[in-house]
Chains A and B, each alone.
Chain A
Amino acid sequence: MTQPMVRLSGLYKIFGARDKDVLHHVQGGMGKEELLAQHKHVLGLNNINVVMQAGEITVVMGLSGSGKSTLIRHLNRLIEPTAGEIIVQGEDVMQLSEDGLRHARQEKMSMVFQKFALLPHKTVLKNAGMPLSVRGEDEVTCDREAAKWLDRVGLSGFENHYPAQLSGGMQQRVGIARALTANTPIMLMDEAFSALDPLIRTDMQDLLLELQKELHKTIIFITHDLDEALKLADHLVILKDGCVVQQGEPQHILLNPGDPYIEDFVSDINRARVLRVRSIMTPLGGDKVPADAHGEVDVNDTLESMIARSGGDTSHAYIVKDGEQTVGTLDMTELVRALVPRVASEAGARQS
């Protein structure tokens, strides 16, 4: 495997004046509450080890206070870690000089913010061109690139408006266009869609996936919304109280929650819409393809579409294809079983 785009190892962040002095308590196993009670320091991140692959969307999910926004700000050192390593494209961000860091922020990482953080006194065009003009590019280049990306996010015609004249969703499109104009391999998105209403949020998620299909950026996406996380993630990292509770492929986490906290989380998800055939099929053993198959399905079909297709008949079975190749079989009984969260199936039924 090639070198990962970003690697965080042994990352700690403690908020407080003497963070280095109390670090050994945390490394010795002291929790967030104890640290606050005994040393008046707040534990932000506790031994984070995450690898982010190039071209993937890594989603960091957690509730408020879990340290997810703190985590993303370590990548471009908007927040200084207490201890640990941050390696971006093989380069240790912690070793960078002030100039080197600024250079990295200009050329390697761009950021999209929850509250958009556009310049209110500049037009949409100038806002989108800001990353280039910071680098010292001439105005013609800035405007040309900015116009190109504004068009790409569906904002052509609004170049000379001011941010306050646009709706929230459109402002965030400007935010995304600004990050794309920077033309950096890494995009950091800090709860980028959390301030938008649900319909617009879905639009923006689709836009992001569509852009990603052709641009193949390394995206680090922060969210508190599990539906959003499952929709976008190639790699999902779940944070709680500054610790990584579980990380991995989202479908895998959904089917095999490693912790009661995550079980609780995933139990409220519409599994039929999130889970895909490949996660629950029976891989092909030998060559025996069932003769009574009702048809062929793609590995990436959602269970929802399968239910619609079978008309709810659990006796059906299908052959699963990945492109031309037959990779497994799907029994509708298996499918129905997968729809019930593990914790609920063990308890018989979820008490509500």
Chain B
Amino acid sequence: MAFYDKLFSALGLSEWCGTSDDKAPLSLADLAAQAGGEEASGPFVPIPSFDNLHESCNRIWQSRDVTNGIEEGFLAAKPVLKTVLDPITQPLSWILDGALWLFEATPWFIMVPLLVAISWYASRSRPVTIFVAVSIMLLAVVDHYDVAMQTLSIIFVCTTISVLFGVPIGIAMSKSDRLQKSVVPLLDLLQTLPTFVYLIPLIFLFSVTESKLYGIAIILYAIVPVIRLTDLGIRLVDRDVIEAADAFGMNDRQKLVRVQLPLALPNIMAGINQTIMMSLAMVVIASLVSAPGLGVNVLRGIRNLELGVGIVAGIGIVLLAVILDRVSKAALTRVDKTQVKH
């Protein structure tokens, strides 16, 4: 005799509910009762969950039907999704593989000076450049140069794509309040969803051997800050300057290119810095789905309890993070300086 029997008979629904059906899957409580050999004795008034209501009325779902339903729904939609998404995302695989090949095939004596030169060009700061050179050589000395380059190639591709898509989306959001209202919850979702949860539907959709799988996971996670800060940056542009642009007859394109984007640039750069940091965070988790790089060694450290391997790879990731952060921050302050020169 289940607790909610009386409720259903009082509502006159006994007939609709039908008789007990033993073929129904076991509820958690039943399992517990079987294991313990006695009937489950919950609190005096059991919480009106699906499982508890099901005991009184067969028509009501069990909780596992919900998870089953989601899974079946997703599997049903999968063929359609796959035929649409597969061709669209295929170039991402090519780009990722191409970049990976390029970073690995370039000999170190070209690659390292090139990276140092890029850091100098971006930051124009001697300490930062020296730090970059020392860090890369440090990684090379402990034979982590190759994996570090793999990680760097993934970050390079994912950040570039995030910026290419994120900045226009941010611009569109800044132009339309309605678009902003509808996109912001999505961005909140992408930012709060635990990183592992991204991977679950992606694994179902794409093959684990394809590089676009981790590419998509990283981009979805890392694109959020650049969108947000582009939107914010353009909205924060001084209204007086915008009015002046209008008063001198600029059209929308001139206003965007000559006024809004340059004045929003410090914010956009801050967004790009965050995007780089977040793609680095995700690239480690993405090693679970066959992303190459330093993350693989971390994963090996965890799986085989190889303490040293894990920690060296971890320190390598920290070094990369600091390099990328310092270079992009130095570039940011350089951009900022041209704004307020005193």
A residues touching B (Cβ–Cβ < 8 Å)?
76, 78, 101-106, 109-111, 113, 115-121, 130-131, 134-135, 162, 164-165, 178, 182, 188
Contacts and interface: CB of A to CB of B under 8 A. Distances in A.
B176 interface: no
A109 B244 CA distance: 12
B258 to A, nearest CB: 7
A121 B338 CA distance: 6
B246 A110 contact: no
Contact of A130 (B243, B248, B339, B342): B248
6 contacts: A105-B246, A105-B249, A111-B248, A113-B244, A117-B238, A130-B248
Given A115-B240, A120-B263, A134-B254, A76 B342 contact: no
B288 interface: no
B249 A134 contact: yes
B262 A117 contact: no
Q: Which 3 A-B pairs have the closest CB atoms?
A: A105-B249, A106-B249, A117-B244
A131 B248 contact: yes
Interface string B114-155: 000000000000000000000000000000000000000000
A285 B144 CA distance: 106
Nearest to A103: B249
Contacts, number: 68
Given A78-B243, A78-B246, A119-B241, 8 more contacts: A113-B247, A115-B240, A118-B241, A119-B259, A119-B262, A120-B263, A165-B341, A178-B248
B106 interface: no
A120 B246 contact: no
Contacts of A117: 238, 240-241, 243-244
A100 B247 CA distance: 13
A111 B241 CA distance: 12
B250 A78 contact: no
A106 B245 CA distance: 10
B251 interface: yes
Contact of A78 (B241, B247, B259, B265): B247
A105 B244 CA distance: 11
A120 B250 CA distance: 17
A110 B248 contact: yes
Nearest to A181: B248
Nearest to A76: B247
Contacts of B265: 121
B262 to A, nearest CB: 5
Contacts of A115: 240
B340 interface: yes
Nearest to B341: A162
A165 B263 CA distance: 17
B261 to A, nearest CB: 10
Do most interface residues of chain B lie in helix, strand or loop, or is the interface mixed? helix
A21 to B, nearest CB: 24
Nearest to A178: B248
Contact of B250 (A118, A121, A134, A165): A134
Nearest to B258: A119
A185 B27 CA distance: 84
A178 B245 CA distance: 12
Contact of A106 (B241, B243, B248, B342): B248
B338 to A, nearest CB: 6
Contact of A182 (B241, B243, B246, B248): B248
User: Most chain-B CB neighbours within 10 Å: which of A101, A103, A162, A178?
Assistant: A162
B340 A164 contact: yes
A178 B249 CA distance: 13
Contacts of A104: 249
Contact of B247 (A110, A135, A165): A110
A102 B342 CA distance: 35
A58 B241 CA distance: 25
Contacts of A121: 262-263, 265, 338-339
A199 to B, nearest CB: 23
A178 B250 CA distance: 14
B151 to A, nearest CB: 35
Given A119-B259, A120-B339, A120-B340, A102 B240 contact: no
A126 to B, nearest CB: 10
A76 B244 CA distance: 11
A319 to B, nearest CB: 49
A221 to B, nearest CB: 15
Contacts of A131: 248-249
Contacts of B248: 105-106, 110-111, 130-131, 134, 178, 182
B338 A113 contact: no
A130 B259 CA distance: 11
A102 B251 contact: yes
A140 to B, nearest CB: 19
Nearest to B262: A121
A124 to B, nearest CB: 12
Nearest to B254: A134
A111 B244 contact: yes
A118 B139 CA distance: 48
B241 to A, nearest CB: 5
Contacts of A135: 249
Interface in B245-281: 246-251, 254, 258-259, 262-263, 265
User: Most chain-A CB neighbours within 10 Å: which of B241, B246, B247, B250?
Assistant: B247
A134 B244 CA distance: 12
A28 B251 CA distance: 39
A76 B245 CA distance: 12
Interface string B303-342: 0000000000000000000000000000000000011111
Interface string B231-246: 0000000101101101
Contact of A164 (B243, B251, B342): B342
Contacts of B247: 76, 78, 105, 109-111, 113, 188
User: Most chain-A CB neighbours within 10 Å: which of B241, B251, B259?
Assistant: B241
B332 to A, nearest CB: 15
B330 to A, nearest CB: 19
Nearest to B244: A117
A102 to B, nearest CB: 4
Nearest to A98: B251
